[in-house]
């Protein structure tokens, strides 16, 4: 039987488009020092480190070793885990597995990216199969744009419906001084007037490119309770990868990997009615249309009901299920850190450390990760020890 | 804050790596690409377990996790139906065409999964459900882009 595990602290950088004042190692160190301070421990208390980022983004392929001065990994067990967009939830889940196994008591998970150092598209096309899809369907935007246009056609959703999601996340970022888009709210008109990249995706429908890092401390039961007053316990996690062939995806059945991951995680956690059972959700929504379609896969509303559910304000601060109090991925996207930020922000909500972005009385929180060809991770946290 | 921090110039260094690769296509994929190159034919194959007809063909079915044996080949298309698409409006050096062009998912006649490819012409008439046909290049090398693109068929 696995040990119970809790998050006992989190740290993140103040995310920016360009952090030219620090190199990657130094940027990682900022997040690590903040996570250690938040957990009221030092690096000597950490038994192992899991670190991850996007392959090819900074042109450093042995990140685990290269980063030790920044991560604190000198003479410690450290390994790299990288799974594309889901890297952040993968390092979190791997850290959880490490502690749950009983072999390590306190494990540090780190996600980071210096997006300013790379040609993001050139790096991201290397996730497509080199013989097949790379030449006829490359980069992040085509697959997302195709999904969005298929969703609009299926359910009659509009570009304005999607813009509402971007406006929500950018409005929430007003409360998060760490967000890249802190204090830069937008309107639906701004989104509609921004330049068309690939129909129906416009510039303000998509996430920015960000330099940033995040670090989270995981601790075992018996230790976590003594470290902080209200640890954020891992209630359940689930991981689903579907196909690697973009042509094999059936868009009309919804976001399949997220449906399956959610089903498993909800069953293990006893979640029956997500909109009521969760108090807050930090979702990996890299573009606005995901905030309509993917919340259906998560069971917050039925198929095709995303636009109305969001439009009625249910997902705003003060709504029945506030989504992305941090401002979400549309406000900050340091890719290797992005999914770990979802877990960190969900934990911050449980621990009650959200300051201006805090949702009142959070007992159960949902975090998700998204990657590559429609992969999904789901993490459920709770304030009550499971 | 130390005085030197006020004046320090934050430097960046330019770099680029150029790493050539030689990717193995495999026997199954090679047969597909050779048929494109030599016969202007699009081949797929059928999983004997779930009956899904794949294109490009697969050595095994990922869902059933079973091998697809030698006698399950089928010629598909060259026509099909657009099931989803996006029209790209921005230019980028790594894209296979100058904007505007479309990335489309095309259900080739006889196939059960989509085939991802390009549409260059007739974008104003592009809708889900329109029929399209593969346009082969004159000079073919055994590459997915031996099909230049798909062209819309008149209704
Ligand atoms: Zn099969």
pLDDT > 80? residue A1:
no
Instruction: Give CA angle at A5 (A341, A348), nearest 5°.
Output: 35
Please check whether residues A197 and A339 belong to one and the same domain: yes
Interface residue of A119, A131, A211 to substitute, partner B, most B CBs within 10 Å: A131
Ligand 1 midpoint to CA A268 (Å): 29
Any B CB within 8 A of A375 CB: no
Please indicate whether, in this complex, the C-beta atoms of A59 and B116 are within 8 angstroms of each other.
no
Confidence of residue A123 (pLDDT cuts 50, 70, 90): confident
B9 assigned to some structural domain: no
Sort out which chain A residues have CB atoms less than 8 A from B117's CB and list them.
136-137
The three state secondary structure string of B20-58 is CCCCCCCHHHHHHHHHHHHHCCEEEEECCCCCCEECCCC
A111 within 8 A of A32, measured Cβ to Cβ: no
Three-class SS state of A27: helix
Supply B34's token pair: 């050779």
For residue A137, give the nearest of B17, B25, B116 by CB distance: B116
Is beta strand A48-52 parallel, antiparallel or unpaired with respect to A280-282?
unpaired
Please check whether residues A109 and A144 belong to one and the same domain: no
Say what the pLDDT of residue A180 is. Answer: 98
> The domain spanning residue A173 has which CATH number?
3.40.47.10
Say what the pLDDT of residue B52 is. Answer: 96
Say what the pLDDT of residue B155 is. Answer: 61
Report the first-to-last Cα separation within chain B, whole angstroms.
Answer: 71
Q: Which domain holds residue B137?
A: 25-152
Please check whether residues A71 and A188 belong to one and the same domain: no
Sort out which chain B residues have CB atoms less than 8 A from A56's CB and list them.
none
Q: Match 């196994």 to its residue by tokens.
A: A101
Neighbours of B50 (CB within 10 A): 11
A32 within 8 A of A11, measured Cβ to Cβ: yes
Please indicate whether, in this complex, the C-beta atoms of B115 and A247 are within 8 angstroms of each other.
yes
Measured between CA atoms, the residue of chain A closest to residue B21 is A130
For residue B94, give the nearest of A138, A196, A199 by CB distance: A138
For residue A121, give the nearest of B21, B25, B92 by CB distance: B92
Supply B104's token pair: 């489309």
Neighbours of A222 (CB within 10 A): 10
Please check whether residues A70 and A185 belong to one and the same domain: no
Q: Match 């993001």 to its residue by tokens.
A: A120
Please check whether residues A347 and A198 belong to one and the same domain: yes
A347 within 8 A of A7, measured Cβ to Cβ: yes
Domain count, chain A: 2
**pTM, whole model, 2 decimals?**
0.95
Say what the pLDDT of residue A166 is. Answer: 98
Ligand 1 midpoint to CA A39 (Å): 49
Confidence of residue A136 (pLDDT cuts 50, 70, 90): confident
B86 assigned to some structural domain: yes
pLDDT > 90? residue A361:
yes
B2 assigned to some structural domain: no
Any B CB within 8 A of A203 CB: no
Quote the ipTM score.
0.86
B123 assigned to some structural domain: yes
Any B CB within 8 A of A308 CB: no
Ligand 1 midpoint to CA B44 (Å): 13
pLDDT > 90? residue A250:
no
Please check whether residues A222 and A237 belong to one and the same domain: no
Among A361, A224, A375, A207, smallest CA distance to A286 is for A207
Please check whether residues A324 and A358 belong to one and the same domain: yes
Interface residue of A115, A248, A250 to substitute, partner B, most B CBs within 10 Å: A248
Neighbours of B99 (CB within 10 A): 15
Neighbours of B91 (CB within 10 A): 11
Q: How far apart are CA B47 and CA A65, in angstroms?
A: 44
B8 assigned to some structural domain: no
Domain count, chain B: 1
Cα–Cα separations (whole angstroms), residue A135 to A110, A256, A339, A368: 33, 25, 28, 30
pLDDT (tens digit per residue) in A97-111: 999 999 999 999 999
Among A327, A71, A341, A114, smallest CA distance to A209 is for A114
Interface residue of A129, A130, A146 to substitute, partner B, most B CBs within 10 Å: A146
Using the Cα atoms of residue A251, residue A343, residue A311 and residue A362 in order, give the sign of their dihedral: positive
Neighbours of B58 (CB within 10 A): 22
Supply A201's token pair: 């995706």
Supply A69's token pair: 């001065």
Please check whether residues A222 and A192 belong to one and the same domain: no
Please check whether residues A298 and A217 belong to one and the same domain: no
Please indicate whether, in this complex, the C-beta atoms of A146 and B105 are within 8 angstroms of each other.
yes
Please check whether residues A151 and A27 belong to one and the same domain: no
Please check whether residues A201 and A107 belong to one and the same domain: no
Mean pLDDT of the residues in chain A: 96
B85 assigned to some structural domain: yes
Please indicate whether, in this complex, the C-beta atoms of A196 and B62 are within 8 angstroms of each other.
no
Q: Which domain holds residue A300?
A: 125-206+233-382
pLDDT (tens digit per residue) in A285-336: 999 999 999 999 999 999 999 999 999 999 999 999 999 999 999 999 999 9
Please check whether residues A93 and A129 belong to one and the same domain: no
What are the pLDDT tens digits along chain B (155 aa)? Answer: 788 998 999 999 999 888 889 999 999 999 999 999 999 999 999 999 999 999 999 999 999 999 998 889 999 999 999 999 999 999 988 889 999 999 999 999 999 999 999 999 999 999 999 999 999 999 999 999 999 999 999 76
Neighbours of B73 (CB within 10 A): 17
Neighbours of A304 (CB within 10 A): 16
Q: How far apart are CA A310 and CA A300, in angstroms?
A: 10
Q: How far apart are CA A305 and CA A294, in angstroms?
A: 11
Please indicate whether, in this complex, the C-beta atoms of B90 and A20 are within 8 angstroms of each other.
no
Supply A62's token pair: 């042995």
């Amino acid at each position: 039987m696995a040990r119970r595990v809790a998050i006992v602290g989190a740290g993140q950088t103040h995310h920016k488009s360009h952090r030219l004042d620090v190199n990657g190692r130094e940027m990682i160190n900022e997040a690590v020092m903040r996570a250690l301070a938040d957990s009221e421990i030092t690096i000597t208390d950490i038994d192992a480190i899991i670190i991850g980022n996007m392959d090819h983004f900074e042109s450093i392929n042995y990140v685990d070793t290269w980063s030790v001065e920044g991560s604190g990994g000198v003479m410690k067990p450290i390994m790299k885990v990288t799974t594309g967009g889901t890297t952040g939830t993968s390092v979190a889940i791997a850290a959880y597995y490490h502690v749950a196994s009983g072999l390590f008591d306190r494990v540090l998970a780190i996600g980071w990216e210096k997006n300013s150092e790379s040609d993001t598209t050139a790096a991201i096309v290397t996730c497509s199969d080199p013989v097949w899809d790379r030449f006829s369907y490359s980069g992040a935007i085509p697959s997302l744009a195709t999904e969005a246009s298929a969703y609009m056609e299926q359910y009659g959703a509009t570009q304005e419906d999607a813009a509402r999601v971007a406006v929500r996340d950018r409005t929430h970022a007003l409360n998060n001084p760490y967000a890249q888009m802190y204090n830069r709210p937008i309107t639906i008109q701004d989104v509609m007037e921004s330049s068309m990249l690939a129909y129906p995706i416009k510039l303000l429908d998509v996430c920015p490119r960000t330099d940033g890092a995040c670090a989270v401390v995981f601790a075992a039961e018996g230790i976590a309770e003594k470290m902080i007053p209200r640890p954020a316990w891992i209630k359940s996690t689930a991981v689903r990868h579907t196909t690697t062939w973009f042509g094999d995806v059936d868009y009309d059945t919804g976001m399949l990997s997220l449906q399956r991951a959610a089903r498993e995680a909800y069953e293990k956690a006893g979640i029956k009615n997500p909109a009521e059972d969760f108090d807050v959700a930090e979702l990996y929504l890299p573009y606005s249309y995901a905030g309509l379609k993917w919340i259906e896969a998560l069971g917050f509303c039925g198929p095709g009901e995303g636009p109305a559910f969001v439009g009625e304000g249910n997902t705003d601060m003060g709504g029945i299920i506030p989504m992305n109090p941090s401002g979400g991925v549309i406000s900050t996207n340091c890719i290797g850190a992005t999914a770990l930020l979802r877990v960190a922000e969900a934990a911050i909500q449980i621990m009650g450390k959200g300051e201006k972005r805090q949702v009142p009385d959070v007992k159960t929180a949902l975090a998700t990760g998204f990657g590559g060809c429609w992969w999904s991770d789901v993490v459920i946290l709770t304030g009550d020890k499971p | 804050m130390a005085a030197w921090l006020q004046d320090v110039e934050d430097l960046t260094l330019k770099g680029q790596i150029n790493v050539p690769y030689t990717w193995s296509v495999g026997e199954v994929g090679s047969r597909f690409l050779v048929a494109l190159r030599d016969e202007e034919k699009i081949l797929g194959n059928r999983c004997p377990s779930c009956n899904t007809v794949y294109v490009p063909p697969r050595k095994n079915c990922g869902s059933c996790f079973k091998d697809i044996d030698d006698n399950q080949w089928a010629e598909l298309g060259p026509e099909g139906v657009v099931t989803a698409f996006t029209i790209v409006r921005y230019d980028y050096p790594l894209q296979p065409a100058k904007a505007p062009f479309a990335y489309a998912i095309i259900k080739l006649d006889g196939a059960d999964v989509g085939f991802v490819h390009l549409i260059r012409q007739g974008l104003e008439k592009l809708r889900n459900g329109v029929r399209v046909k593969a346009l082969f290049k004159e000079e073919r090398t055994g590459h997915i882009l031996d099909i230049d693109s798909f062209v819309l068929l008149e209704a």
